[in-house]
Amino acid sequence: MLLLSAAVAALPLTAKPLMDTAQVFHLGEVKVFEHQRTFKANQVSDDFIKSADIQRVSEALNWVPGLIVQEAGGRSEAGFTLRGISSADVPIYIDGVPMTAPYDGTVDLYRLPAGMLSKIDVNKSASSLLLGGNTLGPSINLISRQPQKPLELHFDVNTLWHGNLNVGGRWGQWFAQVDIGYANVSNFRLPHSYPTDSPYLDGHKRLNSRTRDVNLNAKVGFVPNATDEYVVGYTLVRAEKHIPPYLGENGKAQFRIYPEWNKDEVYFHSMTRLTPTLTLKSRLWYDTFKNTLDSYDDFTYSTQQGKQGWTSIYNDYALGANANIIWSTANNNDLKFGVNYKYDVHRSHNVGEPVAHLSEGIYSFVMEDEARLNRQLSLTASIGWFGRQGYKVEEYNSKTGISDLPNSHDSNINALAALDYHPSANQHLRFTMSRSSLFARMKDRYSYKLGKAIPNPDLGTQNAINLDIAYEGRWHNLSWQAGAFYNFINDIIQEVTGVDASDPKIYQLQNRGKAQYRGFEFGAGYELSWLTAHANYSMTDQRNMDHKDLKFLYSPKSKFTAFLELRPIWHLRLQGRLIAQSKAFSSSNGSTSTAGFATIDASLARKIWKTDVKVGVLNVADRVYEYTEGYPLRGRTWYASISFDL
């Protein structure tokens, strides 16, 4: 195993080309360049998800250069930073439909199984304005499956109690797809070198860390001809997650359980050729998000009588519509007009208290032109007006009851320009420049963060100028990619501690001047009949230009990933996977941080007819590591899996 680890670390730095599968739901894709290929380093394919034993969307995203996943923490959820930008500021879509919660703009990516997807597209610098997103530039689109044959079947299960079932078929003008995921994960074990003197551990077992998830994604489609398509779909998430108590030295333990974390989404996609030169694309959706958080007095999880004892209930929903008219003004030019509206409602209360309502609408009007100047060169330019209107703002106070607060509104003009150049069939160069804006979330403006923060109703909008250049190439069996970026952010929102003299840990979200994020990514890969090797290195430097002492949270400066698969004899596949990252701060004043770490996973597999059998081990070296200070993650874990494809 040491030889395998050394071999992985010695690889040239890159990303293996991640090929699209035939089961991609193309109506769910949204591209800056509709007629050009996407950079492979910015995708995670279904093939790679299966090969690398990836179970959750958060695990898949960990292989995208420049993206840093954060797991665990006080909400026991998976988020990320993308080139320094927090996941709360990066919208997540499934087939172009927003998945993020109305209140705080986040979604727990550990609740979403990667097994239901055909691929993941990550727009790092600038996503299409036609999405209508509220973003500082990047976006992530999870693209589901669309069957091509009369019967398509995949099934997998492993000893970590994860399983997926994908069944689909296409019959003439109709198709249907059903994807089911299930996970029932027991309390995990920490590395053997971790101290066991905490009352919240049973030996090395991390108590109250279990989770249970049930996922469903189903769609039915009608394709009457070569140009039109209509799809109705439904996505369901049912989860129960336990939050293990804090084990660090810079805070106190809390005892919490989410007995329900539920999400439902119904959507409709359509594409209709109105005339030979006009096409209408539309999306409609209705999304609900319901969760219950129980907080207990102590580690017995039995009483809720003290200050820490309460039950919080969210019952949110969102309605949305998106329509785009595509006018093919010439064989080499498409002019697009887009309108987007999303109505968000947040309803919350603690048991025994009245329900407080928050609601707002976010809308946009966009014009975009894509010109294919020749076979090698394409240019896209777009401009849009984006607005936010607050409708209802209520606050509950135990002394005064429910009261109305003033609402607010804001608007911005965003723009994008991108140049795509293919000097040859195996080379691809893209330059992107954009201006984007992010309206402050409802939670950012009005939440007390369970007593940890002071609300800031006057929190302003962040604006960003993003510059990005990316290049990828291939020569015989060798591939490579490189990129550099610069983001200038004005009125950046950051946590500021020390705003309450009675408690130095209380913070407030404030607009803290100007910041710049800059960095680069590079890598290379090599592939033979018996070998696949790829690796990537990314560096992100973040600076607040007006308040230089403020630290950026959960955002390591450097990250390195490497993948090696050997196929020596008898159709065996010996695989090693390495993820390493540097130190990250956990508080804005720099008083707490997490150490840098590297983890190695390995597996041995063989395919027999249509069945793949595999044994593997996670965290081979049994390293102690954590993404959030005080929340260490699992130690060495063995597993076996079996999958079947028809």
Contact by Cβ (8 Å): 552, 542: yes
CA distance 485 to 430: 12
What is the pLDDT at residue 589? 81
pLDDT mean across residues, the chain:
90
pLDDT digits (tens, 9 = 90+) for 12-36: 333 333 344 458 898 888 877 776 6
Residue range 380-384: mean pLDDT, rounded: 96
DSSP 448-502: -TTTTB---TT---EEEEEEEEEEEEEETTEEEEEEEEEEEEES-EEEEE---TT
Structure tokens at 395: 């606050």
CATH of domain 2-645: 2.40.170.20
The secondary element (H helix, E strand) that includes residue 50 is: helix 46-51
Mean pLDDT within 353-364: 94
Q: Is the pLDDT of residue 281 over 80?
A: yes
pLDDT over 90, % of the chain: 71
In this structure, are strands 611-618 and 377-397 parallel, antiparallel, or unpaired?
A: unpaired
What is the 8-class DSSP label of residue 394?
A: E
Mean pLDDT of 452-467: 87
- Identify whether the C-beta of residue 176 lies closer than 8 Å to the C-beta of residue 169: yes
pLDDT tops 50 at residue 140: yes
Task: Delimit the domains of the chain by residue range.
Answer: 2-645
Rounded CA gap, 26 and 288, in Å? 25
Task: Return the percentage of the chain with pLDDT > 70, whole number.
Answer: 96
Q: pLDDT value at position 22?
A: 57
Residues sharing a CB contact under 8 Å with residue 502, sequence separation 6 or more, in sequence order: none
Could you tell me the pLDDT band of residue 108, with boundaries at 50, 70 and 90? very high
Taking a C-beta distance cutoff of 8 angstroms, is the pair 390, 411 a contact?
Answer: no
How do residues 55-89 score in pLDDT, each as one tens digit?
999 999 999 999 999 887 888 899 999 999 988 88
Residues 184-218 pLDDT 10s: 999 999 999 999 999 999 999 999 999 999 999 99
Segment 454-475 shows an average pLDDT of: 91
pLDDT, residue 11, reads 36
The model's pTM is 0.91
Rounded to an integer, what distance in angstroms lies between the CA atom of residue 65 and that of residue 41? Answer: 7
